[in-house]
Amino acid sequence: MHEDLQFVPLTSPLSPKALSAFRKDADWPDAPQPKVVDPRGKIVWVSVESNKKQIAIARLELAPPEFCYVADVIVSSKFRGRGVGHWFMQRIEQYCHGLGVRRLLLEAANGTESFYKSLAFMQDPFVPSMLKKDVNPLQRKMFLPPQGR
């Protein structure tokens, strides 16, 4: 299965229709896409594609070099339980490492804490509702950020 997967940083925001479909598939309430408020940060959508079809998405709120807030991680219900989520989170970490980001932060949805803890995320002692993971400085850079941005 994993040989079919491709990590894709999207060049434009995820369409509202696509986001709505992913949220519906995950039984999440529909919500508008967030806007970048802080000019020091940047939002990048990333996806996993299999046979040219998006099967997972995530929103990365980048604030390099300090951190990346990982939000809206959704794997299509047809592909859950097959290791796609682990593969995706590892590629997100590699992508962020390529941008010089030192830490990933996220809020785990109910029932997903053990998934993130299996990926070495731990509770932030200063903000208990958040999970954090320091990006491994020895992580191999597989994904390079787009040039000129």
Distances from the Cα of 120 to the Cαs of 2, 55, 93, 132, in angstroms? 21, 24, 12, 9
- Predicted TM-score (pTM) of the model is 0.83
In the DSSP assignment, the letter for residue 85 is H
Q: What is the pLDDT of residue 69?
A: 95
Measured CA to CA, the distance from residue 38 to residue 87 in angstroms comes to 30
Q: In DSSP terms, which residues pair with 57 in a beta bridge?
A: 47, 74
Report which of residues 11 and 5 the model is more confident about.
Answer: 5
Say yes or no to pLDDT of 139 above 80.
no
**Residue appearing with tokens 């509770």:** 123
pLDDT tens figures, 42-80:
889 999 999 999 999 999 999 988 999 999 999 999 999
CATH code at 2-134:
3.40.630.30
Residue ranges per domain, the chain?
Answer: 2-134
